[in-house]
Structure 1
Amino acid sequence: MRLERTRREPEAGMAVRTQLPAPPAWMRWLPALFVAALLLVEPFTPVDWPVSFALITVPLLAAFTQGPLGVAAVTVFAVLFEGVLAGTPCCAGRSVGYLWERHYVASYVCTILVGAIGTVLAAHRTRRERTLADVRFVAEIAQRVLLRPVPHRIGNLLLESLYLSAAAEARIGGDLYEAVPTSYGVRLLIGDVRGKGLLAVETAATLLGAFREAAHDEPDLPSLADRVEVSMGRRAMLLGGGEVGERFVTAVFAEIPTEGHLVRIVNCGHPPPLLIRSDEVSELDRGRSAPPLNLGVLVGEPYSVDVYDFRPGDQLLLYTDGITETRDPHGVFYPLLERLRSWGPLPPRELLEQLHGDLMAYSHNGLQDDIAALTACLLADQPAEPAPPSDGAGGSSGAP
């Protein structure tokens, strides 16, 4: 399972290639521990129990963590060490050595063969790990293009985002979010594309592209939702296929004006946002949700805008249903509202970090769906700077 919190790059446009995954420390030391155990057992075994034959397995143990050269070196060591144990008379109470006895020679040959197989396996494993690292690197770049990190602050809003992938090696999926500063205020989007795979990623890219462009042009949220709906429908028709009518997205559009302590919301079949205050946590839902995007043509009703108070210190939490549908080992859904109320008010970063850790603990690291969250906290209005003292008639002239 891959877990990732969206973050800013050290430098704009910089991408760091993913390194090969490091094996656990105990696996790297497993061949040495195995040899040490044999050294402890060998003096106490009868002559007809040549436990040194077990050194045949050492190259295979090394193949789990070492590269081809490392496995070859371990194979040479195992053969030489078998010879040392076989040729030492004092081992297991022997009076003579058995360096070239046929059973020991067969053991040398078998160790070399097993070492050759281990070298091939190590080369194959290393090649697969490099391929996986390259795929993850490309996917991470794609995510940076698709889900750009939101700014930490826009005007008097503090923003943070969270993305968790349920797939172990995935970097991108159908959950999406965006925050765009416009002349109308800060406009937010969170959405969840139906389905998985490349089709969901392509649909998410279409939605985000339409939102980023239309957010600056459309004067209100219904017009913005209509514009995105048209773009989604046009793209679905161009793609064709049997799933045109099913390629839909649940979404929430939010707008926080620069002036005026309020938030406007248009909900398109998505889980309702949460308003977090110092004394309460409430759902922003008046039962007027529109159909998901790309299904609105089936209803033809205009979008409804819900307006709520949004005072300094308030925090808006937008999230996908992967959060509320997270289950514990007994199949009980994650109680998001109860958790938020028990934590009390937290700054945006701490809130998402707490949510991240709690989701992983609740599901025992067993998420079944991707998760995205976006939070915006309204800061207190900045006080006006005092005017400098004037030298007018009302002030002291300083003349004698």
Structure 2
Amino acid sequence: MTEMEYGRRRQPLRLRDRNVAWVPPLLLLVGIVLLDLNTTERFRIITWIVLVPGSAAAICGVWTTAAFAVLAVMTYIGVDSAWPGQYQAGLGDFVLVALGGLMATIASGVRVRKEQQTLHILDIAETTRRTVLRPLPPRWAGLEQAGVYLAADVEARVGGDFYDIQPGPHGTRVLVGDVQGKGLGAVETAAALLGTFREAGYHEKDLATVAERLEIRMLRHRSHTTALGRDDGDRFATAVLIAFPEDAPDTIEIVNFGHEAPLAVGPRGVRELPSGDGLPLGLADLVGGVPPVRRVPLAADETLLLVTDGVTEARDRTGTFYPLAREIAPAGADLTGAEPGGTGPGALVRRVRDGVLRHSGGRLGDDTTAFAVRRIRAAEGEEREEGRLRS
């Protein structure tokens, strides 16, 4: 990564999209010079010019810092020479300014290198996140969707929350989940479950079989990590597996692995769908099998909202949990007019995201995911196709 590329990525002090990081050191230099020239010989501060490259090292690139170091030395010579010999700061202070500029340039190089390494790590984290949470088209396989993911550690960008949509010959399936724990181990588990979902969700006719495949994959993954000698062999994951049958446009099928109950949001308000009594993935052997498949109604004008516990367990300063159902209760009325055809997924997840951040004051205790999805009604599809043809 070149210094120019680094500067664009780091986004230093900017004004109207122009880099102005050089302005504070320059103003400091001018101020020191003017003050030195307009005070008496008892208040010589030209040596303070060593602060100029020092301040540049904190906010500017290496070459800019080096330029300020040279400028500081030249300015020191010029200003100090303007005083009578008995009042000049002398060679000792000159060495101090020169040495200070050199050290500032070295410090700037070290800082830039560390920040480049950090950007590289963040790039890797972003690539990992996109590999696990692949980008989804806003309208795909008969569904309109929107999702938002907020990492508790803003620098990490990756965690154990996951969601995906998988169309197939037996209808479209949706999976939303949350792996217990954090770090790369949680990311690996999420990737394993998503890989199985994408294959089983496409090939298997029965949703119960897809659920069994996910449970088996979780057990196999735990067995593998245990064999490697890692201490996360007891990891589990909560999840909601949903099917949108093509032959039943007003119903959905749900398998809930101990996850937060999905919410149906529409013009008539918010209702909680049955959560079931299932245990998380990896714990089915405690109850003798995976949770049952439940078929529940979902009206054409309702949007399905699924969240992880980072939403429902977000707290304010007094320790009060975020009241999700109450906060989105007006959404049916408020958002119906915002997006034609009903409560839009995009507006709904934005409402949840903004509400959680406002309620918690931006202090997230856990990774936070909100995922909303609804069927695309035939009338909407026809209207959009007509608009496309006219344009």
Q: What's the TM-score once normalised by structure 2's chain length?
A: 0.85
2:102 is matched with which residue? 116
CA drift of 1:290 comes to 0.6
2:58 to 58, 64, 81: 64
Q: Structure 2 counterpart of 1:381, which letter?
A: A
Aligned mate of 2:295, from 291, 307, 313: 307
Other-structure match for 2:263:
274
Alignment of 1:231 with 2:225, yes or no, is no
Equivalent position of 2:26 in the other structure: 32
Report if the CA contact (8 A) 2:50-2:100 is conserved: yes
Q: Pick the aligned partner of 1:178 from 140, 164, 168.
A: 164
Counterpart code for 2:188: E
Shift of 1:348: 1.3
Question: Which letter maps to 2:315?
Answer: R
1:317–1:376 Cα contact (<8 Å) kept: yes
Alpha-carbon distance in structure 2 between the residues aligned to 1:244 and 1:331: 30
The offset of 1:383, in angstroms, is 9.4
Which structure ranks higher in relative contact order (CA pairs < 8 Å, sequence separation ≥ 6)? 1
Give the aligned partner of residue 194 of structure 2: 208
- Range with greater deviation from structure 2 (65-74 or 171-180): 65-74
Unpaired runs of 5+ residues, structure 1, are: 1-15, 90-95, 386-400
Q: 1:339–1:27: structure 2 CA closer, same or farther, 3 Å change rule?
A: farther
Q: Is the 8 A contact 1:173 1:370 kept in 2?
A: yes
Decide which structure has greater helix share. 2
Q: Which amino acid is 1:334 matched to?
A: Y
Indicate conservation of the 8 Å contact 1:182/1:215, yes or no. Answer: yes
1:203-240 C-alpha deviation (Å, 9 max, x unpaired): 11111111111112322222211111111101211221
Structure 1 runs (4+) greater than 6 angstroms displaced: none
C-alpha distance in structure 1 between counterparts of 2:12 and 2:170, whole Å:
51
- Name the counterpart of 2:127: 141
* SS of structure 1 residue aligned to 2:358: helix
Task: Using the TM superposition, give the Cα deviation of residue 76 of structure 1 relative to its aligned residue in structure 2, in angstroms.
Answer: 1.1
By how many angstroms is 1:19 displaced?
5.4
Distance 1:228 1:18 in 2: 45
Shift of 1:329: 3.1
SS in 2 for 1:229: helix
Cα distance in 2, alignment partners of residues 17 and 265 from structure 1: 47
CA RMSD of aligned residues (A): 2.5
State whether residues 221 and 255 of structure 1, in contact with CA within 8 Å, keep that contact through their aligned partners in structure 2: yes
Measure how far apart 1:87 and its partner are. 2.2
Matches within 5 A, 1:38-187: 38-89=32-83, 96=84, 101=88, 103-187=89-173
Q: State the 1:362 CA deviation.
A: 2.7
Quick check: 197-206 or 36-45, which moved more? 36-45
Q: How many correspondences in the alignment?
A: 361
- SS at the partner of 1:117? helix
Larger mean CA deviation between 21-30 and 366-375 belongs to: 21-30
Structure 1's 197 and 109: CA in aligned 2 closer, same or farther, altered over 3 A? same
1:245: how far off?
5.1
* Cα shift at 1:97: 5.3
The answer on 1:375 being equivalent to 2:372 is: yes
The counterpart of 2:283, out of the listed 292, 295, 299, is 295
Q: Do the aligned partners of 1:266 and 1:289 also contact (CA within 8 Å) in 2? A: no
Cα distance in 1 for partners of 2:219, 2:93 equals 69
Mapped partners of 1:143, 1:305: distance in 2: 30
Question: Equivalent of 2:344, from 347, 356, 365?
Answer: 347
Identity of aligned residues (%): 34
Tell me whether 1:361 sits opposite 2:350 in the alignment.
no
> How far off its partner does 1:51 sit?
1.7
Residue aligning to 2:338: none
Supply the AA of the counterpart residue of 2:154. Answer: A
Alpha-carbon offset, residue 171 of structure 1: 2.8
- Asked whether the 8 Å contact 1:18–1:134 carries over to 2, the reply is no
The answer to whether the 8 Å contact 1:281/1:340 transfers is: yes
Q: Counterparts of 1:31 and 1:151 in 2: how far apart (Å)?
A: 47
In 1, Cα distance between equivalents of 2:157 and 2:234: 24
| Deviation sequence 1:252-272 (CA, Å, 0-9, x none) | 111111232111111111111
CA shift in 2, pair 1:383/1:194, >3 Å: closer
What residue number does 2:385 align with?
none
Structure 1 residues 335-344 or 118-127, which shifts more? Answer: 335-344
Q: CA deviation at 1:33?
A: 2.4
Indicate yes or no: 2:234 matched with 1:246.
yes
Q: 1:51 to 1:265 in 2, by over 3 A?
A: same
Larger radius of gyration: 1
Q: Distance in 2 between matches of 1:42 and 1:374?
A: 62
Q: 1:332 aligns with which of 300, 303, 320?
A: 320
Greater alpha carbon shift after TM alignment, 185-194 vs 24-33: 24-33
Larger CA deviation: 304-313 vs 315-324: 304-313
> Does structure 1 conserve the Cα–Cα contact (< 8 Å) formed by 2:242 and 2:254?
yes
**Runs of 5+ in structure 2 lacking a partner?**
15-19, 336-342, 383-391
For the 8 Å contact 2:235–2:282, the answer to whether it is kept is yes
- Partners of 2:6 and 2:351 in 1: how far apart? 29
